[in-house]
Amino acid sequence: MAGLPGALLATIAIFLPAFVFVAVVRPVAPRLGRSSRLASLLDGLNMAAVALMAGVLWELGRTAIGDPLSGFLALGALVALLRFEVNSA
């Protein structure tokens, strides 16, 4: 499927599961919030997500920063972002 119909279908396929999940979980969310087992599960999922993002950052960084000059530029950009609170957008 190509063109506008394919783009619309892909957009719906990406966002619809999240909306369905919220619609299903919302009525029972207060009860789930008191569950220590669920809290532990969510803590584990959060840790896994952070580890996944760190791994992707590492791989992308290794690919994007190929020489020392690129490394110094990236480090300088990070320092400027953190020190001067530059709007990253």
- The string of pLDDT tens digits covering residues 5-21 is 999 999 999 999 999 99
CA gap 3, 9 in Å, rounded: 10
What pLDDT does 16 receive?
96
- The string of pLDDT tens digits covering residues 20-74 is 999 998 888 888 778 888 889 989 999 999 999 999 999 998 898 989 999 999 9
**C-alpha dihedral, 53 to 57 to 58 to 59, nearest 10°:** 100
What pLDDT does 49 receive?
97
